[in-house]
Amino acid sequence: MSSPFSAGKLVIANWKMHGSVTQVRAALSVLSQDSACNQSHIMIALPTPYLLLANEWQQQQAGWQIAAQDVSSFAEDGAFTGEVSARMLADVGCRAVLVGHSERRQYFAEGQQVLSKKLKALAQHHLLPIFCVGESFAQREAGLAWQTVEQQLDEVMPLLKELPQVVVAYEPVWAIGTGKVASLADVEEMHTQLQKKLLHSLPACATMRVLYGGSVKADNAEAILALPQVDGVLVGGASLDLGQFKKICQASEKR
Ligand code: PGA
């Protein structure tokens, strides 16, 4: 039987709160014309107002897939001013949604309750959650890196159990946007533990991936993606630089 971890590497661009209509149009045009980027294992998580532009490209048969950066925890559409439902994201062609990103945990106080509701809403609309976990620098220094990550996973494990496909992104908080990357040995160790944990907790899940995120750039992507325990990368800052992002996509192709 093949391993649930043998599905190939994913590359997800997380634009965060950056971009403009002009910039998004130009980027999508470049991605669609580049053979390494115009692939179904490449996803682009744009800010919500630009998702429809990506959907228009999709209808012209772009090869990459659309992701969203967030979703409402309210499962049904209704009087929730400012919120965007899972149904709406599916309606504009999203395939996946980031959940539990450390910036959401930190600036919007998202924890177990709200993250569980978001996972439930996504499952109802067959959207793939990219569930993010990661320890702070203080937690790593205190020897609590694994404990922190394991707890973040345990909090939502009952929801992950319901999914046919699970993607977890390990993003050490101290490596996000800082230029500091976890050492290959640390990535290998954490990913090995995460894979073991997922295999043990989700024996029925057909496809699993553990991605790495945190200052992934053109010059370190190849080494990170070469690790057998790394099933892809979540790229923030470097995804806004198309030259770098193309190189990261190329590195994923070699795997
Ligand atoms: P970064 O962000 O690549 O800029 O460190 C990664 C992320 O937050 O997903």
Whether ligand 1 lies within 6 angstroms of the CB of 211 is answered as no
- Å from CA of 239 to ligand 1 middle: 9
- Is the distance from CB of 90 to CB of 139 less than 8 angstroms? no
Length of the chain: 255
- Å from CA of 77 to ligand 1 middle: 30
At 45 the three-state DSSP class reads strand
Is this prediction's pTM over 0.85? Answer: yes
Atom of ligand 1 nearest to the CA of 237: 4
C-alpha to C-alpha distance for 242 and 104, rounded to whole angstroms: 25
> What are 121-164's pLDDT values in tens digits?
999 999 999 999 999 999 999 999 999 999 999 999 999 999 99
Atom of ligand 1 nearest to the CA of 235: 3
Using 70 as the pLDDT threshold, list the residues of the chain that sit under it.
1-2, 255
Atom of ligand 1 nearest to the CA of 175: 5
67: left (phi over 0), alpha (psi -120 to 50) or beta: beta
pLDDT for 255: 67
pLDDT for 5: 83
- Å from CA of 238 to ligand 1 middle: 8
Residue owning the nearest CA to atom 7 of ligand 1: 236
pLDDT for 147: 98
Structure-derived torsion over alpha carbons of residues 185, 251, 245, 215, reported in degrees to the nearest 10:
0
Tokens 């979540």 correspond to 234
C-alpha to C-alpha distance for 68 and 55, rounded to whole angstroms: 12
* CATH (domain of 22): 3.20.20.70
Residue owning the nearest CA to atom 3 of ligand 1: 236
- Å from CA of 147 to ligand 1 middle: 22
- CA 229 to chain CA mean position, Å: 16
- What is the number of domains present in the chain? 1
pLDDT for 8: 84
The H-assigned helical ranges of 61-109 are 86-91, 102-107
Residue 162: give the domain boundaries: 4-253
Whether ligand 1 lies within 6 angstroms of the CB of 235 is answered as yes
Cα-trace Rg, the chain = 17
Whether ligand 1 lies within 6 angstroms of the CB of 215 is answered as yes
pLDDT for 242: 96
CB atoms near residue 146 (< 10 Å): 16
pLDDT for 61: 79
Catalytic residues: 101, 171
Give 183's contacts (C-beta < 8 A, 6+ positions apart).
none
